Amino acid sequence: NLFVFPDGSSRRFDIRIQPVPDGVMVLSVDIDERKKLEERALAAERMEALGQLAGGIAHDFGNLLTGILVGVGVVLETLDPASSEAASLRLVHASAERGTQSVRELMDFARGRKVHLSPVALDAALDLALDALSERVAPRVLDIHLDSGAVVLGDAGQIDRIITNLVTNAEHATRSDGRIAVRTRLRGDHAVLVVQDDGAGMSPYVLQRALDPFYTTRGDAGTGLGLATVSALVARMGGSLDLESVQGRGTTVTIDLPVVRERPRSP
C-alpha cells in the first residue's frame, strides 16, 4: 500500500489485519527500502536487456539519421531561408536531431557494458562538465559546491553524461528564475553527489516510474532515457541512486559512489 503524507512525500507499507478478541489488530510494516532495492535490481536487468538491443540497432539507425541530416543541410543551402520549403526542411532537420539524441541515449546502454573503468577525480570531472552547463541553464542559478576530494572508479565521459542528464532534467523542471544545486561531499568511504532543484517536483505515481526506460512526462520532447541512463551508469560504477521528490517543491537526486585509493587520470 502506498501512503501519501500531508507534505506530499510517500512511503510503502505492508498492512496486515488480524482478528483478536473484541476487535482487530492492525500491523503496519514499512517496506519502502525493501521495495527500492527490488526495483533497483529489476531496473538493472532491464538496462542490460536494453543495452543488448541498443548495441544491435543504434549504430545503423545513427548512420541513417546522419545521412538525413547531411542531405537536408545540403538542400537548405540552396533554398531561400524565408521560403516555406526551407521551413519544412528545418522541421525535418530538427526531428532528425531529436532522433540522434535518442540514438546517443541508447548507445549509452551498450557502451556502458564495455567502458574500461579507471580512477577518476570526481570533483574535477564534474567541474569540467558543469562549466559548459552553466551558460546553458541560464538565467537559472546553478549553485555548485564540489567538496568531496574523492577519487572514484569510473570514466570521465560517464560522469559527464550523468551530470548532464541530471542538470538537464532539473532545467526542464524549473522556471527561468529557479535554482539548481550541485553538491559533492565525502561520507566515510563513499562520495556523495547531490543534484537538487526547486522545480515542479513529481507526483507519487511519476516518482515510482521515473527510472523506467522510455517513461517520460514531456511527450515527444523527451526520450524517457535520461534518468534510466543515469541509474544504469551509476550501477556500473558500483554506486547507488536515490530519488526524492515532492510535487510543487522540487526534486533531489542523491548518488552514492565508492571511493578508491588509486591516483586518478586527468579528466
- Residue pLDDT, tens place only, 6-48: 776 778 888 888 888 888 888 888 888 888 777 777 766 766 6
Residues contacting residue 8 through CB under 8 Å, at least 6 positions apart: 201, 246, 247, 248, 249
Judgement on whether residues 67 and 173 belong to the same structural domain of the protein: no
Edge-first strand order for the sheet with 10-20 is 2-4, 10-20, 23-30
Q: What's the structural domain count of the chain?
A: 2
Residue-range definition of the domain harbouring residue 195: 118-258
User: What pLDDT sits at residue 86?
Assistant: 92
Closest C-alpha among 135, 104, 146, 123 to residue 267: 123
| Residue ending a domain, choose from 114, 145, 176 | 114
Residue 209 has pLDDT above 60, yes or no: yes
The predicted pLDDT at position 39 comes to: 74
The pLDDT score that the predictor gives to residue 134 is 83
51 Cβ contact partners less than 8 Å away, ≥ 6 residues apart: 109, 110, 112, 113, 232
Predicted structure pTM score: 0.62
**Three-state secondary structure call for residue 239:** coil
Phi and psi at residue 45, in whole multiples of 5°?
Answer: -65, -40
* Between 8 and 64, residue with greater pLDDT: 64
Is the pLDDT assigned to residue 145 strictly greater than 90?
A: yes
165-200 tens-digit pLDDT: 999 989 988 998 999 999 999 999 999 999 999 998
Instruction: Mark whether 130 and 181 lie in a shared domain.
Output: yes
Residue labelled with grid coordinates 542528464: 165
The residues, any chain, with a CB within 8 Å of residue 229's CB and separated by 6 or more, are 105, 108, 109, 161, 165
Let me know whether 97 and 20 are in one domain. Answer: yes
Higher per-residue pLDDT: 126 or 9:
126
- In a domain, residue 265? The reply is no
224 — pLDDT class (breaks 50, 70, 90): low
- Of 254, 240, 246, 216, nearest to 98 by C-alpha is 216
Residue 267 forms part of a structural domain: no
